[in-house]
Structure 1
Amino acid sequence: MTVSTVVHLNFRGEARAALEFYRSVSGGELVAMTYGDMGAVQNPAEAGRVVWGQVRAGNGFHVMAYDVPAGRPWSRGDDPFFVSLRGDSKEEITELWEKLSDGATVVAPLEASQWSPLYGMLTDRFGVTWVLDVAAEYPAA
């Protein structure tokens, strides 16, 4: 079983700029998917914003980021990150989900998504928001 924990940064319209900055800092590879790429545009002005992105470098530097959609409350500094748990199998992510969901509020149910065979988001009973998914490969942006 292999699971990694990654800080998942939240922005409103600045995720790509932040990821590009972190790429310049780390020398890592940037990968990003927009709301338009995944066909989940609820607000046409947000089609080019990042729904999922990451910078990963060979030295271990790794951050993920996305642009919080306008329909979800967000204020810079009030909800700046999620904790992302990425695993290699549906079984290990489902097991972690089941344990973390005790007393939690489900934000997005654990199910297949366009970027992962299994994805879900919940806020645990301590107020920490967790994003769980099965890792999948994507082309660099």
Structure 2
Amino acid sequence: MQVQPYVFYNGRCEEAMKFYGEKLGAEVLFQMRFKDAPPSEGQTMPPGNEEKIMHTSFRIGSTELMASDGECNSASPRPAGFSLSLTADDVPSAEKYFNALADGGTVMMPWQATFWSKGFGMVVDRFGIPWMVTVPHEGG
């Protein structure tokens, strides 16, 4: 069994994929736009959204995620009830990723050493996606 995060970007998916590619080295594995889907009864996308992303699969490090523009409603509130957790190999890498995700986003907990980690921080990126960035706890 495998569980993968599926993130809806409310019309900003392509921008998010480019941002994560530049900042985190994300790689798009598969992508389909709404214009690529066969017309189906009762499921129409408002005009002007044909180029929006209906589905994409992408990889960050060894994790595969899935995403979409969803209903392309930029007025929708940001997603809630989850956070993506990024665990880096070392403190410099983790801090670099944290700062990259904070670019245009909102820092919820500044990057810092904690009692459980040499580095941890929480940020909501420019797309409204909450992230927890950390390095592994040493000693078990």
TM over 0.5: no
* Structure that is richer in strand per residue: 1
What TM-score does the superposition give when structure 2 sets the normalisation length?
0.44
* CA radius of gyration, larger in: 2
